[in-house]
A and B are shown apart, each in its own frame.
Chain A
């Protein structure tokens, strides 16, 4: 293997296993090589929010990041509540996920997405935007 090949393999190994994926935008070409959150409008009034990480990130911590990203997006939309659904079937049946949420895996790495309905008023099973942000702000910033 050439010197460049060794350097690239070492970098990939470091990124893949060394440090757990932090809370970051997966669209960032520099910071988010190991993963991060993503948002996509739809279907319909829903917004799809996802988070994927590397093998060093636990499914539980990825779940915290995912729910936090939902709350952060609700905050930007000036919505006080949101319901997050693990599937479109659950969205139709109004069966939101509960907090704490644990994401599933894809290729051995944590990878989850939810379909989010933003709300102005409380609803059964809906999460409070402010409460989620307060609860997880420290963990997302790496303070605890």
Chain B
């Protein structure tokens, strides 16, 4: 769980600068994928094999992510206004199943934020189920570029 940072004036320009360098993720032809609903996740990104990608969503709010391997999802959450302005960057990792359908959610409670992902399950009374592969707070190990 990430602590909300109350210095948005510094973080926003940084987020904008960094966000401008990130490419959208597009699955390779024939690659197994899952879909994840990102309607409630601000500026969703994915870290895959040391590379960071922005996750574009369709009209229903879903984005495609690779299946069968561990991927890190994260959010650059920023809100300015009443009752508070805050910024946080929560993350987690999971191993999506091919053709699986997931729901990502950002929880803000007691000045802390947490990213969570559930499996969409039409058989469940609430439409969701726990995803056992989720590990909270995973770090993205970036690939080091050589000159």
Contact = CB atoms under 8 A, between A and B. Distances in A.
Contact of A54 (B83, B125, B126): B83
A45 B126 CA distance: 6
Main secondary structure of the interface of B (DSSP, over half): strand
Contacts of A52: 83
Nearest to A43: B103
Interface of B: 37, 39, 82-84, 86, 103, 105, 107-111, 116, 118, 120, 124-130
Nearest to B109: A104
A13 to B, nearest CB: 13
Contacts of A104: 109-110
Interface string A57-72: 0000000000000000
Interface residues on A, range: 20 to 34
B36 to A, nearest CB: 12
Contacts of B110: 104-106
Nearest to A117: B126
A91 B126 contact: yes
Pick the most buried of B86, B125, B129, B130: most chain A CB atoms within 10 A of its CB.
B125
A29 interface: no
A54 B108 CA distance: 17
26 contacts: A42-B39, A45-B126, A45-B127, A46-B126, A46-B127, A52-B83, A54-B83, A88-B118, A88-B126, A91-B128, A92-B124, A92-B126, A92-B128, A92-B129, A92-B130, A105-B110, A105-B111, A106-B83, A106-B86, A106-B108, A106-B109, A106-B110, A107-B84, A107-B111, A109-B83, A111-B83
